[in-house]
Structure 1
């Protein structure tokens, strides 16, 4: 029996998380779900976006399965809860795989890229302030440490090794940001020497974006600092059909959090339209993390069957479909039998 903190989230979160839980439970794996709250809904109910009870649950389980959370953009709203959780539990590696689906028509049909993004430092460290009383000059500090760089780059190479990947590319801006990005690149070069069986490549971040849309097949595993990874992972999502198909894992030494990487989509909340694929595939990553490989493979095969057939999928995957979130979840459960 595995104990997992379940955070359904905001907007479409509860509806897609209900389907993910239904699918995971149907796989036969034994999960003890501890429901907890975070985000805008928690703020409205408890006066804080991250209640102590939620943190206490994660402290116990060291494993969270999370739906999308609403974060106020700009102004005086609270900072990202995702960032707070990553920093609190030292979830230093954000892993986002993007792979083509046979049933989803895109420009390319052979994309298979994994982004490994440093998750706790960089420009998302939260070190920003105004320099004048008028608040007309703002400054953000990008923090890159050797320790932080080493652990995420090691993770990327080990991930490549463990998953029969051939190449790791570090995407950087060391030509301009010579200290912060230079340090990250130096660590990548030093680390590559210890993995002679993995091909190593380095690309400047803006050139990487150009090369990726011209020929994504030249990329395999990509490792980069926080903000660059955030941007590149959305780019790779666009290559395979959008964020509705992209799962995310946040990995630390003694804790992990799995999630859909898309937003809370308040415009379609309660309409039974949200695509549950991303968060179900995040559940697959979680089961693999737990060593439940048979259940993970069963769910993955069922999701691929349903998505590739294109019949019982949400309208974002097939505009002619009359199927909703619940019906797609049911079809995935049925496909596992």
Structure 2
């Protein structure tokens, strides 16, 4: 049976980095245990123009039927209001496919100077379906509202089920890593009820994993420790908004969001998604760094049991980033998006031979 992947290129630089990623994906075909069958569908502005919505029920159904999805960046801040079809495809898919975990690794790269002088290798395991995210924490309507013209309010939703799911995912991951250490990030000194429930769930799961070191840290202290000594951390588990902010910080410390892979997953589905935005200012100029989406695709392959092919992508990207001559312009190199993809495939082909 082929491995069925749905490709949603998105907006801005999405088409360019998707093309580069698929070039690399095709190059690892000999290392796969099964052939890949690629399908494509429109989301974002392309879908809005054709169908009146940035993501359609047909695309959601296709994502549910696929073994995995590769999702390009979207320009959702520029979309029209929801009632005019301006849905955030990423948020919609996370909710519709019950993708409760957002797995975001960050590490320094050999030969690539990063803002931090301390080598580190950590993962932020971010809850993905609730928290302060107004577009996904209500069954109907938005979690933000205005009772009068001068007052805006937002609801934060924390549930036991979601907290247990993300805690289990974090501890399961920690068991596979050398550090075997989970840090729960919270603000329970202020949000005693909601973060109190989150921590209760983390402690319950920790009790079932005695071989994993467990501690807790306030989110403001966690940000400070990330800047001072990110090597202190192994796996950070936290709620949606805190995870979004801290994972971006960790990725910038490792060299930039252009290097930041990401995997959204639940019990039945998984989506590879670059951490960064759609960068419309450089769209169509062959300047975009495709590493983030490439590494996200690598994570998806690994999640689907294709570890050998995933290792080839990781090894090739690591080798390319080690030399200034084989990096993209944002990292001081001279290669454009597609030339970088070609270089990665050359390394992969050499490894396969």
Give the TM interval when normalised to the shorter protein: over 0.9
Question: Structure 1 residues 210, 53: closer, same or farther in 2, change over 3 A?
Answer: same
Task: Name the counterpart of 1:130.
Answer: 146
Is 2:68 the counterpart of 1:68? no
> What residue in structure 2 maps to residue 300 of structure 1?
314
- Secondary structure of 1:68's counterpart equals coil
**Aligned mates of 1:243, 1:163 — CA distance in 2:** 23
- Structure 1 residue aligned with 2:273: 259
Is 1:45–2:50 an aligned residue pair?
Answer: yes
Report the 3-state secondary structure (helix = DSSP H, G, I; strand = E; otherwise coil) of the residue aligned with 1:123: coil
Q: Does 1:110 align with 2:119?
A: yes
**325-334 or 119-128, which deviates more:** 119-128
1:144-171 CA distance string (max 9 Å, x none): 0111100110110001113344200000
CA contact 1:108–1:239 (8 Å) conserved in 2: no
8 Å CA contact 2:118, 2:230 repeated in 1:
no
Cα 1:75/1:138, change in 2 over 3 Å: farther
Instruction: Provide Cα deviations, 1:56-111, integer angstroms capped at 9, x if missing partner.
Output: 21121142111101102698353432111111111000000001011321122412
Could you tell me the TM-score, scaled by structure 2's length? 0.91
The 1:51/1:335 distance shift into structure 2, 3 A limit, reads same
- Equivalent position of 2:16 in the other structure: 15
Matches of 1:40 and 1:276, distance apart in 2: 21
SS at match of 1:223: strand
Q: Are residues 79 and 56 of structure 1, via their aligned partners in 2, closer, same or farther at CA, if it must alter by over 3 Å?
A: closer
| Preserved CA contact (<8 Å) 1:173 1:181 | yes
Q: Is the 8 A contact 2:258 2:289 kept in 1?
A: yes
1:129 is paired with a residue of what secondary structure? strand
Q: CA RMSD in A?
A: 1.4
Distance in 2, Cα, partners of 1:220 & 1:162: 11
Distance 2:130 2:283 in 1: 33
Q: State the secondary structure of the residue aligned to 2:330.
A: coil
- Measure the CA separation in 1 of the matches of 2:269 and 2:80: 31
Corresponding position: 1:209 with 2:223 = yes
Which residue number in structure 2 is paired with residue 317 of structure 1?
A: 331
Gapped runs of 5+ residues in structure 2?
Answer: none
Residue 196 of structure 2 is matched in structure 1 by 182
Structure 1 unmatched runs, 5+: none
Aligned positions of 1:17-166 closer than 5 A: 17-28=18-29, 29=32, 30-72=35-77, 76=81, 78-106=86-114, 107-124=116-133, 125=137, 126-132=142-148, 135-166=149-180
TM-score, normalised via structure 1 length: 0.96
Q: Name the CA distance, whole Å, in 2 between partners of 1:151 and 1:191.
A: 10
Deviation per residue, 1:171-228 (Å, 9 max, x gap): 0000000111111011111211111110001000011101111111111100000000
Deviation at 1:310, TM superposition (A): 2.3
SS at match of 1:316: helix
Q: 2:286 aligns with which of 272, 277, 280?
A: 272
The CA deviation string for residues 238-264 of structure 1, in whole angstroms up to 9 with x for no partner, is 111110000110010111111111000
